[in-house]
Amino acid sequence: MGSILALFQIMRVALALTAVADVWTLMLLNIPGQPAIKDPVTQFALAALASFFLYAFGMTLNDLLDSRRDRLFAPWRPIPSGRLSVPAVIVLSLVLMLLGLFSATLLSWFEPINFPVALTLAMIASLLIVFYNATGKFLGYVGFIALGLIRGVNCLIGRPNAGFLILSLFLFTHIAVATAISYRLESKRPRLRIAGIWKLLSGVAFIDASAVLIMLLRGSITRSVLIDAIGPALVAVIYFAWVARQIFNHHEAPRKRGERIMLVGLFTLFAYDASLLAANGAFGGMAIILTLAAVSYITFWAMRLAGKGITVGRPRYRIRASRP
């Protein structure tokens, strides 16, 4: 039981469902001029597997490369606690990556053109995952942009020829900015300076503008697309207004606020997906995403409760108020 829990923890199974929701959302949208999904059961299953395995690969690789640091700062995690060995995690990460690429390969068979776009996108996501974990996380704003791109590319895998980049744009921006805010509040190293923040915002604006330009050139921006964007735009306003309150809440430790911003930010991805489908009129699809969100939330807290019995390396002391 302990080994299974360790596997679920290192793969972040609950949060991996956010990636599945993103890729399903684009497949559930009613996009004018785009044909319906040929084989819904098979294609939805393959898209879910591809995104799930790639997300799990990224999380596993992250813990593998951070295992030395975790021995000092987070010894209760699966690798430093001894519940999973380094060789086993190496094999696991490779298997997860190959499974993700294999699922995307099978998904490419359903594409209307001979070029395997789904597989290409999965390979790009894999390369971005490796880049971020090996180098990008130490490069400040570059790492945040890489993380955002991973999320933006992932959502296109299930329906790569749709030409609909609005969801990808929102997910990319959300992850890049929310991660940077959380990172700065948690005072991680290397420090994110003001100059780095401006470079991040400039990079995000450039990529967002490029995505809009591509859609304009392809004639993909229509009145219905602009209506669809209203839902995610409202979610973004609500989330970042809440983030602003968290930033200026000086009654709580910055590290705790940063962790909360990131965790809530990940679950907010379901809100982007569901609101886009609601604005699109795909209410059945919205119900599917909300159900997936509920499963993710319950799984997350179930794993947290199951992990409370793991005390390896956790501080076991009390701070008592001093007597006058």
Examine the pLDDT at 321 and tell me if it is beyond 90: no
Closest to 262 (Cα-Cα) out of 184, 199, 170: 184
pLDDT at residue 309, rounded to an integer? 62
DSSP per residue, 128-165: HHHHHHHTGGGSTHHHHHHHHHHHHHHTTTTSTTS---
Closest to 173 (Cα-Cα) out of 145, 196, 214: 145
Between 112 and 130, residue with greater pLDDT: 130
Q: Amino acid identity, residue 280?
A: N
Is omega for the bond preceding 75 within 30 degrees of 0, making it cis? no
Closest to 258 (Cα-Cα) out of 188, 190, 186, 192: 186
pLDDT tens by residue, 174-191 = 999 999 999 999 988 889
Instruction: Kindly report the pTM of this predicted structure.
Output: 0.92
- Determine the number of helices (DSSP H) and then strands (DSSP E) in the chain: 13, 0
- Rounded to an integer, what distance in angstroms lies between the CA atom of residue 34 and that of residue 49? 23
pLDDT tens by residue, 141-153 = 999 999 999 999 9
Token couple for 28: 């559930």
Using CA atoms, how far residue 269 sits from 57, 92, 98, 244, in Å, is 19, 26, 26, 18
pLDDT at residue 251, rounded to an integer? 87
Examine the pLDDT at 112 and tell me if it is beyond 80: no
Task: Assess contact for 128 and 149: CB atoms under 8 A.
Answer: yes
Angle at 323 between CA 321 and CA 324, to 5 degrees: 130
Give the single-character DSSP code of 220: -
- Rounded to an integer, what distance in angstroms lies between the CA atom of residue 24 and that of residue 233? 19
219: CB partners within 8 A, 6+ apart: none
Neighbours of 266 (CB within 10 A): 20
Domain extents for the chain? Answer: 2-307
